[in-house]
Structure 1
């Protein structure tokens, strides 16, 4: 779980630094700390010694919404830090970028982020699928782990921005996957009147309406409210499909003074969709609209309710206390029939299996943090100590069995028996208690030393009945310590460099050693004067031990197996820039050299074989993307064009199947109908490129061309 980090504001002159302090310390009540800024500007010493500054927790999380270039990173629950001087490889997808590309899923949001590979299961739409630097990534909302809620497809309309940190950091986040972290930042109430309403129609009979409104609720502007809602009615690109959802979120913020604020947010998500097309046969390329599952047994119903709260109080003497808390309830039920094809099949009859799971989950997690900032003669210090708690429970009942075969030359749907015998009934409980400490020291405004340590105490239990192996009742206690160290050198007002070492501990399972990771990284960031832009480069080596991977057994069951050790080395480049008043650019390139350094697998549960030297699954050596957006001068027209290149990669760590490299194009056209009203046309996969993105017992293709038209009104 990510905690707040010291932010070092690198202003370009004494006056600019004072102004930055004013703008970045605006509380939710809307009253800037002018007295403090004016006092800071009185002396050259104070004006030049505003680092480190932890931005006021009441600052407006919407501050970067009007640009594709974010300057702040919102982590640990509404605590902003300077991206340029953060010793990590970071990307932020802002609200402006989300709107330019008309993003409708998390996978779409991350498509232009270097080091990230998305949507590698194509028409398997049960989850948001993405990897960072060749490894799994952990998801968070406002700095609190989604944990047992992570399987839900998140609704991008609920968020101000999406933040990506490449390379996990368990000292900040707690138990986390090695690849990195994706943090969704919720839309917060604001002390000003604003609103947006929109309607969308598009491919696959996609119909959607949304509303986002807010304002101060009293004359003294100490209470603000916000309501965000969306309803979608749609099909997917294959026959017998559905993609409907409803989302509503309401929030209240109370800020009685500039030093104190509290926010409560309640949100509800309901989806009624289909999880899968059933896959496609392995012998040749098929049309995406083909369906080889069973219409009567192809459902995915999700309901999730969250209530979240955060509280901040600045004692105005260097001490600040922050606390975040969230309670979640989830029901997640799905069932589908899928192909079990083989490369050497003879004839047109293909076996199928049915698979489904009903899940009920509950989760409570929260933290409390105390921060102390102090200024010595030539050293600025920021110390953060905190405690965190997570309690989650999940009840799941799963069915898995043979279904009737299907003739792919003449498909006939025969249905599925209503009475299915569960092969697995399981109840999992997990409790994590954590203590953490982070220290930031700034020396002479040139060197920033960051260190962190965290201890996680994890209590796990699982019990239930497996149809094949019998009853089980197990528990485990795991304690892990993770460390972080980084040194940042501010070369100039435009350039900063850093070197870092971070460790990660993945969320464990009973009886299995948790995956552990260690990453070394060297990076540089450049923010030129006279342009709102940020260019970054990072080279890294990421090692993970006790890696597990999904292996399809001869029986058809997909089993998680421990691989051993894996390593990824690579380079990530990113450019985000408002080149001119009319042109913005988002681009990136990644080189990834991955390898299994120790490990073996088994296809039958008995015989093992070595995979040492194999590449990681879904880890292309080369990937790149470029998105440009142009406001045509003197007109009401804007156009966007994007390209995404994904190099070839292996479908599994067995390295027995490899994808083709591919380039896909996206386009956008926006026309201002009149003041505040826009018509936006967006096309993803412009030329309808089709290729296999995942393959096992069947093939899965990348999403096809999709066109949407959106009319929106903003005030």
Structure 2
């Protein structure tokens, strides 16, 4: 027997309770005796033809029956329309007709669904007596892991609590962008998917797909299935969405569960997992600027008893850009396999490889207090600039063992390796004002950088449910460990302008064609001898606990804490060996050890079954992986947040909305030390504060309309520093921002055939382009971008085929997404324009 799903009608989780073999054993021996009067009750049903799990949800809602079954048992099964007056038993028989499933009574008012035994006919209608049917609530209406799901809302988040607690019962703002939204919008990077979440803005460097601002603060790290990846020290990377099931955002400090993290929030991507139900898809996309993308997905069992499952997904993408000289050539492959030696145990091995050839992009400069009024396609690299390369691999494992229906142990492991090689013709001085006094000549020079990252992280969690003194406890105890090494190598000159390489920003093409000899001679030197190599190290241990106490099915009390032991450092030298020796032996002050306790508490109350009111307080603990001008490691960053909010589930639980207020402070922020000529020297500016209101809505208004939308009011400012800029707004943070995406399905969201269309937009108000003390301040103007799609789905020899056409920036507006976060150039030298009108067509076939 596979893990079971219990559709609970009373708890707001309404959701998914996975029970192991012992759960089934507990249910079978003592089947409840039905109440004769209730078993004969007649109901009026009007249930449309739809997926079986959705029809069962409506039956549970109307009768109060709790259906117990494996998610894989009903996946891909359709239920016929049901209309008329009948008993609950007769209704269930009609819904299960031809499905290969039968049912029997469980404990209380539960009903167990099972496969029909071989050579054993199903029970005739009316032959099985159902338990007492007292209406007490509703059940969850969808399966979070169905590869064919078109749902815009997720009931659970794996990152939020590391338990199976529903989002609606969790005292925190948690947002999930599911696969269905990414498919409809034709996203290819998580940068695009996160435009649907309040308070989240992309802030990449060199045009890469990662680097974000959440609730006003920079987030460099991305977690993968709950474990931190290689990203660190400002080296942004890429995540292709071909292997992603969803992208999750846990707002506010998350150090209690994850240790090192930024206080604004945690970004976690969940990857696709092998399924018992065979599913295959192949998609070809094509679009503006020579855009071509092939994407595939395949999953199913490898043997007859389905103890071995596989999944293989991936993509190949080749495209130019509206920006001159900029292109991407990327391939991503992701095989995985799951072994289930028993109903209580499973082990998954997954690998994700990505290789990308591309040309990095510095964007355009500012003139005065606005982006330069030049064609947004103008690029200031060179036709002879060598191609940049990115390669990375993630190797992960996941082990789960359920001792019984209440207690389980979980282990995850992730090995990440990444290499990124880049050669630039970059603005120079990179961290000064590279635009000359005539406001049209940009100073340049040649520079290269390479970073090699190797990281290992693992965790071990024990989860359990028990009752004590009349209170239901959902407990977690865990331990994790992270170790990473980053070798950073630089050549060339980013600091001094080479007049022979000056370029006219209004007519850059006239200066293209730098001789190869200039590249070779410049890269043979380095502007800061003795600092060609840097070694960054991080080692992190953490032990944590959490308890979720439930009283009267309405009051939820959360409490937990974590103790961290952290060591970070950076060594420099003329060679890799010298940098490593400087870190380990020559200068012990460049390494720092810290310990800290990070608590989180929260309370959530549900006065009505559709409403939750919550409040929470949490701390965060980070680590500045840098050194001061005096050569000493900087103190760790810390954060503190107070949050209060309300959550509601409407339209028969199909729509989830969260409204949150927060007040967040961050201390010991690492920035450039302006007292030294070296822009890589760091100092803490003191404190910054962010406060605001956020609204997120996602789900279905009806079978025909789905929605995902957000709004954020964000007031993020410097509150303490030594430069006299208290009160200055943090850069790239709009006071008002939002998004909206609405999908219409003419025949219903689960229809096998029919027309669909969608329209939406992204809004951002005026933003500061840089910190005032990084040069003359400037602003990015606000913008509204409108997107749309239309699709038609039909069957060709029983194979679903979908043709889709997307337009991004339908009104062809000029806008600017962000500035460089002072990672590779100053923000004044690196403003990133948004793409003009872009069309994408696609054909997708499913098997």
How far did 1:664 drift?
A: 0.7
User: Counterparts of 1:546-557 in structure 2 under 5 Å?
Assistant: 546-549=668-671, 557=679
How far did 1:215 drift?
A: 0.7
User: Counterparts of 1:441-460 in structure 2 under 5 Å?
Assistant: 441-460=549-568
Instruction: Please tell me whether the aligned partners of residues 427 and 434 of structure 2 are also in contact (alpha carbons under 8 angstroms).
Output: no
Deviations 1:582-609 (CA, angstroms, capped at 9, x unpaired): 1111111111112211013xxxxxxxx2
How far did 1:101 drift?
A: 0.5
Gaps of 5+ in 1: 1-6, 54-58, 601-608
> What TM-score results when the alignment is normalised by the length of structure 2?
0.76
Instruction: Please tell me whether the aligned partners of residues 435 and 443 of structure 2 are also in contact (alpha carbons under 8 angstroms).
Output: no
Secondary structure at 1:269's aligned position in 2? Answer: strand
- Which structure's residues are more often strand, by fraction? 1
CA distance in 2, matches of 1:486, 1:555: 46
Which of 102, 110, 124 aligns to 1:41? It is 110
CA distance in 2, matches of 1:555, 1:412: 30
Deviations 1:115-151 (CA, angstroms, capped at 9, x unpaired): 1122576xx3134232111012342100001144672
Name the structure 1 match of 2:599: 483
How far did 1:34 drift?
A: 8.5
Name the structure 2 match of 1:117: 201
Instruction: Identify if the C-alpha distance between structure 1 residues 259 and 14 changes in structure 2 by more than 3 Å, giving closer, same or farther.
Output: farther
CA distance in 2, matches of 1:620, 1:18: 48
CA distance in 2, matches of 1:612, 1:64: 51
CA distance in 2, matches of 1:229, 1:223: 21
Name the structure 1 match of 2:734: 620
Name the structure 1 match of 2:541: 433
Secondary structure at 1:503's aligned position in 2? Answer: strand
**Correspondence 1:493 to 2:614:** no
Secondary structure at 2:767's aligned position in 1? Answer: coil
What do you get for the CA RMSD once the two structures are aligned? 3.4
Secondary structure at 1:211's aligned position in 2? Answer: strand
How far did 1:361 drift?
A: 1.4
Name the structure 2 match of 1:326: 414
How far did 1:236 drift?
A: 2.0
**Correspondence 1:508 to 2:624:** yes
Judge which range, 79-88 or 226-235, deviates more: 79-88
Instruction: Please tell me whether the aligned partners of residues 409 and 462 of structure 2 are also in contact (alpha carbons under 8 angstroms).
Output: yes
Which of 780, 792, 807 aligns to 1:671? It is 792
**Correspondence 1:586 to 2:586:** no
How far did 1:175 drift?
A: 0.8
CA distance in 1, matches of 2:483, 2:337: 25
Which of 665, 668, 677 aligns to 1:543? It is 665
Which of 452, 455, 458 aligns to 1:363? It is 455
Secondary structure at 2:277's aligned position in 1? Answer: coil
Name the structure 1 match of 2:182: 98
Judge which range, 166-175 or 347-356, deviates more: 347-356
Which of 764, 767, 772 aligns to 1:646? It is 764
CA distance in 2, matches of 1:455, 1:477: 14
Instruction: Please tell me whether the aligned partners of residues 216 and 224 of structure 1 are also in contact (alpha carbons under 8 angstroms).
Output: yes
CA distance in 2, matches of 1:315, 1:347: 70
How far did 1:95 drift?
A: 0.8
How far did 1:157 drift?
A: 1.2
Secondary structure at 2:375's aligned position in 1? Answer: coil
How far did 1:479 drift?
A: 1.1
CA distance in 2, matches of 1:378, 1:77: 23
Instruction: Identify if the C-alpha distance between structure 1 residues 624 and 696 changes in structure 2 by more than 3 Å, giving closer, same or farther.
Output: same
Deviations 1:283-322 (CA, angstroms, capped at 9, x unpaired): 7422222221123335331111121101111111632111
How far did 1:710 drift?
A: 0.8
Deviations 1:317-354 (CA, angstroms, capped at 9, x unpaired): 63211100111221111121223456771264321143
Name the structure 2 match of 1:389: 481
Instruction: Identify if the C-alpha distance between structure 1 residues 412 and 305 changes in structure 2 by more than 3 Å, giving closer, same or farther.
Output: same
Instruction: Please tell me whether the aligned partners of residues 279 and 338 of structure 1 are also in contact (alpha carbons under 8 angstroms).
Output: no
CA distance in 2, matches of 1:684, 1:296: 31
CA distance in 1, matches of 2:541, 2:132: 45
**Correspondence 1:709 to 2:841:** yes
Name the structure 2 match of 1:4: none
Instruction: Please tell me whether the aligned partners of residues 618 and 649 of structure 1 are also in contact (alpha carbons under 8 angstroms).
Output: yes
Instruction: Please tell me whether the aligned partners of residues 624 and 646 of structure 1 are also in contact (alpha carbons under 8 angstroms).
Output: yes
How far did 1:545 drift?
A: 0.7
Instruction: Please tell me whether the aligned partners of residues 163 and 463 of structure 2 are also in contact (alpha carbons under 8 angstroms).
Output: no
User: Counterparts of 1:246-645 in structure 2 under 5 Å?
Assistant: 246-277=331-362, 279-280=364-365, 282=367, 284-297=372-385, 299-316=387-404, 318-340=406-428, 341=433, 345-346=437-438, 348-376=440-468, 378-399=470-491, 400-401=493-494, 402=496, 403=498, 404-408=501-505, 409=507, 411-413=510-512, 414-415=514-515, 416-418=518-520, 419-422=523-526, 423=528, 424-465=532-573, 473=587, 474-510=590-626, 511-530=633-652, 532-549=654-671, 557=679, 560-600=682-722, 609-633=723-747, 636-645=754-763
How far did 1:61 drift?
A: 3.5
Instruction: Please tell me whether the aligned partners of residues 67 and 96 of structure 1 are also in contact (alpha carbons under 8 angstroms).
Output: yes
Judge which range, 635-644 or 458-467, deviates more: 458-467
Name the structure 1 match of 2:211: 129
How far did 1:36 drift?
A: 10
CA distance in 1, matches of 2:807, 2:59: 46
Instruction: Identify if the C-alpha distance between structure 1 residues 497 and 24 changes in structure 2 by more than 3 Å, giving closer, same or farther.
Output: farther
CA distance in 1, matches of 2:708, 2:451: 39
Deviations 1:228-265 (CA, angstroms, capped at 9, x unpaired): 12111111222222201011111111112221111000
CA distance in 1, matches of 2:216, 2:184: 28
Instruction: Please tell me whether the aligned partners of residues 252 and 265 of structure 1 are also in contact (alpha carbons under 8 angstroms).
Output: yes
Which of 813, 822, 834 aligns to 1:689? It is 813
CA distance in 2, matches of 1:426, 1:480: 27
Instruction: Please tell me whether the aligned partners of residues 280 and 700 of structure 1 are also in contact (alpha carbons under 8 angstroms).
Output: no
Instruction: Identify if the C-alpha distance between structure 1 residues 25 and 218 changes in structure 2 by more than 3 Å, giving closer, same or farther.
Output: closer
CA distance in 1, matches of 2:106, 2:65: 5
Instruction: Identify if the C-alpha distance between structure 1 residues 119 and 21 changes in structure 2 by more than 3 Å, giving closer, same or farther.
Output: farther
Instruction: Please tell me whether the aligned partners of residues 199 and 711 of structure 1 are also in contact (alpha carbons under 8 angstroms).
Output: yes
How far did 1:683 drift?
A: 1.3
Judge which range, 370-379 or 160-169, deviates more: 370-379
Instruction: Please tell me whether the aligned partners of residues 305 and 330 of structure 1 are also in contact (alpha carbons under 8 angstroms).
Output: yes
Q: How many pairs does the alignment contain? A: 691
CA distance in 2, matches of 1:338, 1:617: 22
Judge which range, 271-280 or 458-467, deviates more: 458-467
Name the structure 1 match of 2:277: 192
Secondary structure at 2:424's aligned position in 1? Answer: strand
Deviations 1:198-222 (CA, angstroms, capped at 9, x unpaired): 1111111011111100111111111
Instruction: Please tell me whether the aligned partners of residues 23 and 32 of structure 1 are also in contact (alpha carbons under 8 angstroms).
Output: no
How far did 1:628 drift?
A: 0.8
Instruction: Please tell me whether the aligned partners of residues 231 and 237 of structure 2 are also in contact (alpha carbons under 8 angstroms).
Output: no
How far did 1:674 drift?
A: 3.7
Instruction: Please tell me whether the aligned partners of residues 647 and 656 of structure 2 are also in contact (alpha carbons under 8 angstroms).
Output: yes
How far did 1:35 drift?
A: 8.6
Secondary structure at 2:324's aligned position in 1? Answer: coil
**Correspondence 1:241 to 2:363:** no
CA distance in 1, matches of 2:317, 2:747: 35
**Correspondence 1:662 to 2:783:** yes
CA distance in 1, matches of 2:341, 2:305: 9
How far did 1:552 drift?
A: 9.0
Instruction: Please tell me whether the aligned partners of residues 497 and 524 of structure 1 are also in contact (alpha carbons under 8 angstroms).
Output: yes
CA distance in 2, matches of 1:299, 1:583: 45
Instruction: Please tell me whether the aligned partners of residues 435 and 441 of structure 2 are also in contact (alpha carbons under 8 angstroms).
Output: no
Rg larger for: 2
How far did 1:539 drift?
A: 0.6
Instruction: Identify if the C-alpha distance between structure 1 residues 370 and 671 changes in structure 2 by more than 3 Å, giving closer, same or farther.
Output: same
Instruction: Identify if the C-alpha distance between structure 1 residues 44 and 386 changes in structure 2 by more than 3 Å, giving closer, same or farther.
Output: farther
CA distance in 2, matches of 1:317, 1:681: 46
How far did 1:541 drift?
A: 0.4
Name the structure 1 match of 2:167: 83
> What TM-score results when the alignment is normalised by the length of structure 1?
0.89
How far did 1:555 drift?
A: 6.5
